[in-house]
A = this chain, B = another copy of it.
Amino acid sequence: MADMMMGCITNFFVYETAKSVVVKSWTVGVINRVAQLLIILYFICWVFLHEKAYQNRDTGIESTVMTKVKGIGTLNDQVVDPADYVSPPQGSSTFCIITRMIITDNQTQGECPESEKTFSCSTDYNCTDRKDAHLANGILTGRCLNNDSYEGQCEIQGWCPAENDNQTVYPMKEVENFTIFIKNSIRFPRFNVSRGSIDSELDPSYIKNCTYDAVENTDCPIFKVGYILEQTVQTNIAEKGGEIAINIAWKCNLDHDEKNCKPQFSFTRLDGVSKVSKGYNFRFAKYYKSADGTEYRTLHKAYAIRFEIIVSGNAGKFSTVPFMINFVAALTSVGLAAVFCDLILLNFLKGADVYKAKKFEEVSEVIQSPVDKSYKSSQMSIKSLVKRSNDSGTFSIGQHEATRNVNQSDI
């Protein structure tokens, strides 16, 4: 019993290592080392240095943005400031600078002719059961108002007079001089690293007076609207409105000092992609009450530049798990060189048969019966020997070889 256990333990602490054939051939040797070198180079240069596959990545960035627009402009003969033209006013990551506004003053609830030309009519019949009724500025009453003019307009019920957006209204030219202050705080939750877009080591007086450009003032948090429009090659955006994305990209290698983790700004136009719905506008109303308590409103169709601050993050940090996986993959791949070299060694090299014979030891199926064990196996061995003697071109010392072969397959 104790013996058996001892035997088990002895067997357990046995070390098993692969038996190798060492081929002293310059051809395969060099091929092997070159192949290994190439694989190692690939892993070091591409996988580890370029792709940084030893890092864990975090792209699920947490981000908050604070913005503030400054500048004075003239819109519809009024001098306007940010409280007038920025909407919404809270300074969030998405905001609009209104650059042109069609104003329909003093609208009250009532009936009046529709302003849209598609709702022109000659008889009441043109104004009933219309498929595009939902596109009118109010509920179609079904009447056609055309008593004195050649072509009339359907009557609507709603806010009257209806908006007429075929007015000539000039855009606010000063928009290009406006400045946008942007503050962005981010966090990579996976690594618990927080960063801010404004370098805390910067001189506060510099920050107040600088304007961003991509060459010299990359740390400045104040962006001139004109500069942004220039970068996105926009013309005439103040007329029809548009959507501009301010991309803040945080590409960080957190294995280095966090201070090197800085945002990159870029600017793209978003509404230019499709031919449909170029530009950007929205409608809003201001509500008033007259002295007698009746409500009236001023409808604004605002053409605006909508700025969207889009923050993306991609941080990497050394981690054992991806490192181990790629390291093991690298080592295994180096081993793959052997597969390739074996191919050459065993097939294309002079003396391939010698190598083959050396590398492979054959053992055929053993169908042993307790009685004629020794006979069968010797039979087999001889068969394999015969076969091998045909394969190999370097068969010389026949008798000895035969003996050895028989021995080996009989161990």
Contact = CB atoms under 8 A, between A and B. Distances in A.
Given A46-B320, A88-B90, A138-B81, A19 B19 contact: yes
Contacts of A312: 60, 62, 189
A265 to B, nearest CB: 14
B342 A90 contact: no
Contacts of A23: 14-17, 363-365
A20 interface: yes
A70 B368 CA distance: 88
Given A18-B20, A291-B291, A321 B53 contact: yes
B363 A355 contact: yes
Contacts of A367: 350-351
Contacts of A299: 83
B331 A332 contact: yes
B16 A109 contact: no
A157 interface: yes
Given A96-B90, A286-B287, A409 B354 contact: yes
Contacts of A47: 320-321, 324
Interface in A107-138: 109, 134-138
A234 interface: no
Interface size class, chain A:
35 or more
Nearest to A293: B106
B325 A351 contact: no
A213 interface: no
A277 interface: yes
B89 A284 contact: yes
A90 B87 contact: yes
Interface centre among A287, A331, A365, A367 (most CB of B within 10 A): A365
B328 A332 contact: yes
A84 B79 CA distance: 26
A49 interface: no
A30 interface: yes
Interface string A183-202: 10101011000101011101
A72 to B, nearest CB: 6
Contact of A329 (B51, B200, B319, B324): B324
Nearest to A30: B13
Nearest to A405: B411
A314 B134 contact: no
B21 A134 contact: no
A61 B62 contact: no
B91 A282 contact: yes
Interface string A241-279: 001010101000000000000000000101101111100
Interface in A15-71: 15-33, 46-47, 51, 53, 58-64, 66, 68, 70-71
A285 B282 CA distance: 19
Given A341-B15, A362-B24, A314 B283 contact: no
Contacts of A157: 79
A146 interface: no
26 contacts: A12-B33, A13-B30, A16-B21, A19-B360, A24-B365, A47-B320, A64-B308, A81-B158, A87-B89, A88-B88, A89-B284, A92-B94, A106-B293, A185-B243, A200-B275, A202-B276, A204-B275, A207-B276, A208-B276, A351-B366, A354-B410, A357-B408, A358-B409, A377-B394, A401-B410, A401-B411
Given A14-B24, A196-B273, A351-B365, 19 more contacts: A14-B29, A16-B23, A18-B19, A19-B21, A20-B360, A22-B363, A26-B365, A47-B321, A60-B312, A134-B178, A208-B276, A221-B276, A325-B325, A328-B329, A328-B332, A354-B410, A358-B361, A395-B410, A401-B410
